[in-house]
Amino acid sequence: MQKKKEKFLEKLVKKDYNNKLEMILEKKTFDETAKNLLLNILYKIEASYKDYEKVKQHVKSKESYIMDFIKMIEENCDSITICQMNSAGEDILNGKTFLVDKENKRIVCYPIERKLLYCIAKISKHDTIIKKDYPIIDKTISNLINIGNNIDMVEPLRDFNGYSWTTIRNEIESIEYNLIYQNLRILLGYDFLEKWINNKEFIIDYMEVLKSRLEENYGIKNQKEMLKQIEKMSVLLEMKYNAKEKEKLEKEKKEIEEKLSKIDDKEKFIEMLTKQKRDLNKEIKIIDETINNKDLLQNEYVKRNEKLPLKKKIFSVRILSKLMLKEREEKLEEIEKLNELLNPKKFVAYKKEMEQKYEYLKLVEIKDIEKEIQNTNIKIQKIFLKCYKEKIEKIQNKSDIMEGIYEFRYYNLLPFNDDKEIYKVKEIKEELKETRRILLDKAQELKSIMVTSKNKEIDEQILRHIFNIRGISLEEIYIKLAKEKDKGYIQLFDEEAFEEKIEIEDFQNINKKDLEIKLNKKIKVFE
């Protein structure tokens, strides 16, 4: 009776979602292809989200996810154009798979559901979610968090189909952005990142909140190491994926080098500031003379319009006068900033800011960016695992340890690069093993998972494979130790279906008396 009631309520909720989306789509001028794609996305999310929630554990509720998806379409999408392959519309994309125009709330995309969902996530973001108190990384960290969240939003559609969990690496927009985002999500929780992303004001300094949360949960040393490497990674990824931004960083590096060389010679620095002030005052004087003289103002109006394209023409002398007054204010502000630099305290702060910028800008000198990204990523994963071990140590009950096992299994199966998942990365093999052992010890202590052997090494060798399988429900995993001739094998079963067969290393040297399970008998792994 209860199950019938639950199914009935689920149907009502589904119908409500569909009705809500259809009502919004009726008001939009999207073509039928776009509307059908959006309705298909909703249908597939409804079918797959339960498995996604089970596998990943700490995520939004299905209701929150779907309502956010519908709200994004309603508030941020005024135009969705679906381009068919080999059609005239392909010219708009210029070789790309999608185009997102936030200013005009416009999306152009191929008829690929996951790409369209990615566009909807992207169009709903603020480009900068960090205060400008963090030069260079205000943009790069904003991109790291935003892009990671966009990829995260596509995951229930991309990797789950209502029956299985499969990750195809080349369907992930950026493996590196995704991995770092998932590191932060596991350590700090999805709700913290969601609040950060959706923050429209800069009242809260989320970089400071990030620092304090990492320090509070994992210690100041881990916090400093983690942030240092993540900040570096954000700049490296910006250079990898954005050629124009890399050019800007190279140009800015040269400018900062010049400024730092002048700062070191205080006399020359003061001379430079004085000259800049003098030049600005001359420009202000010219503006004043022009605004107060009709002939000069008319000449300036003609002169400027000759150089401007049609769309940017100044429509009247009165508008020009307003523009010049604004320019005057900006120059006065620049003079004020230069005056501040003559104050010793302000000078020290300015020099420190230049030096901080230069630390990031020096990264443009790196010749092999791909290699540097991989090395930095390995460092981040080592620090992440240090922090994660501390998280495991705090677990005190069965439900939390089961969540931890699911979480660690999910992390193991995250793609590290185009070739392999995290659990196959040799450089962090020992850290993974140590973390896995701590997790298994805690689970066995809480009587959540079976003990396969009195010998910890053998026990770990047998049980480690549960972290590498993609069955949705771990509670339904069975294990069997099988002997064939002189070799031993571990066989895993997912909901009674054969999953995997793995040879046991040095089986002949295992003391059978140490085993806590019988050979050739299928046993449930979790109690």
Encoded tokens for 466: 């549960």
Say how far apart CA 460 and CA 103 lie, in whole Å.
54
Average pLDDT over residues 219-241: 96
Residues 515 and 412 in one domain: yes
Give the pLDDT confidence score for residue 270 in this predicted structure: 79
Encoded tokens for 355: 């030096």
Residues 406 and 519 in one domain: yes
Mind listing the pLDDT tens digit for each residue in 267-277? Answer: 777 788 888 88
Q: Decide which of 107, 124, 141 is a domain's last residue.
A: 124
Residues 110 and 42 in one domain: yes
Write out the residue range of the structural domain in which residue 462 sits. 395-524
Encoded tokens for 185: 């999500």
% of the chain with per-residue pLDDT over 90: 63
Lookup result for tokens 């509307």: 35
For residue 343, report the phi and psi dihedrals to the nearest 5 degrees.
-80, 125
Say if CB 125 and CB 197 are below 8 A apart: yes
Quote the mean pLDDT of the chain. 89
Residue 193 lies in a domain: no
Question: Cα(first)–Cα(last) distance of the chain, in Å?
Answer: 28
Which letter, b or e, does each residue of 253-262 get, where b requires 16 or more Cβ atoms within 10 Å of its Cβ?
A: beebeebeeb
Helices marked H in 308-316 — which ranges?
A: none
Residue 16 lies in a domain: yes
Residues 431 and 492 in one domain: yes
Tell whether the torsion through CA atoms of 48, 491, 450 and 436 is positive or negative: negative
Q: How many domains does the chain have?
A: 3
Give the pLDDT confidence score for residue 13 in this predicted structure: 52
Average pLDDT over residues 469-497: 85
- Three-state SS string over 117-161 comes to HHHHHHHCCCCCCCCCCCCCHHHHHHHHHHHHHHHHHHHHHHCEC
Instruction: Tell me how far CA of residue 424 lies from CA of 53, 445, 464, in angstroms.
Output: 25, 28, 12
Average pLDDT over residues 335-361: 82
Give the pLDDT confidence score for residue 3 in this predicted structure: 47
Q: Decide which of 124, 154, 169 is a domain's last residue.
A: 124
Q: Over 60: is that where the pLDDT of 1 sits?
A: no
432 CB burial (10 A radius; 0-12, 13-18, 19+): buried
Mind listing the pLDDT tens digit for each residue in 426-481? Answer: 999 999 999 999 999 999 999 999 999 999 988 998 999 999 989 899 998 999 98
Q: What is the CA radius of gyration of the chain?
A: 29
Residues 332 and 414 in one domain: no
Average pLDDT over residues 251-264: 83
Residue 93 lies in a domain: yes
For residue 98, report the phi and psi dihedrals to the nearest 5 degrees.
-160, 165
Local confidence band at 364 (pLDDT 50, 70, 90 cut-offs)? very high
Average pLDDT over residues 397-411: 95
Fill in the amino acid letter for 233.
M
